Amino acid sequence: MSDQKPRSQWLVFAIASGGCAALNGVFAKLTTTAMTSSWASTIASGFGLSPDNSFIDVLVRASMFGLNLLFNLIMWTLFTRALTLATSTTRVSILNTSANFLLTAVLSLLIFSETLPPLWFVGAALLVGGSVIIGAREEQGKGG
């Protein structure tokens, strides 16, 4: 039982790193989007300042950029840990990419009200499918 837990820990790290990669992208977009200016105006008004207060706008954008960098750092830390624990680097990459794509789609819809065209899902499926095929070939190479 204790052998099973360390063997599967890489799964959690790989999926979490993909999630952090998606959040990294969200915060990168929030650094430059007009939505952030709207949030900054609301915050400024909440403090009794002018809604056009550029200091608050810069502060909110800098915070988004800081979160972008933070989630990038966390993503690489988790990804590296997953690579260290896993027996297959390809499997780690497949899970990381899959989690990143799926969470990116959900967050794009929830935060930015973006809808993705069906072709995006076809492309994502092809990317994940190709990764799975490469992973299967890697496993056959180890066995044979």
- Kindly give the confidence (pLDDT) of every residue in the chain, 144 residues in length, as a single tens digit, with 9 standing for 90 and above: 455 556 689 999 999 999 999 999 999 999 999 999 999 999 999 999 999 999 999 999 999 999 999 999 999 999 999 999 998 888 898 889 889 988 998 999 999 999 889 998 898 888 878 877 877 777 677 665
User: What is the number of domains present in the chain?
Assistant: 1
pLDDT of residue 91: 85
**For residue 44, which of 33, 36, 52 has the smallest C-alpha distance?**
52
CA triple 126-128-134, angle to 5 deg: 100
Spatial neighbors of 73 by CB under 8 A, at least 6 apart, are none
pLDDT of residue 7: 67
pLDDT of residue 1: 47
92 — phi, psi (to 5°)? -60, -45
* Tokens read off for 136: 């299967």
**Does the model's pTM come out above 0.85?**
no
Would you say 10 and 92 are in contact if contact means Cβ atoms under 8 Å apart?
yes
**6-9, long-range: CB within 8 Å, 24+ apart, which pairs?**
6/85, 9/85
Would you say 64 and 37 are in contact if contact means Cβ atoms under 8 Å apart?
no
Q: 101 lies in which domain range?
A: 4-143
pLDDT of residue 87: 87
pLDDT of residue 96: 93
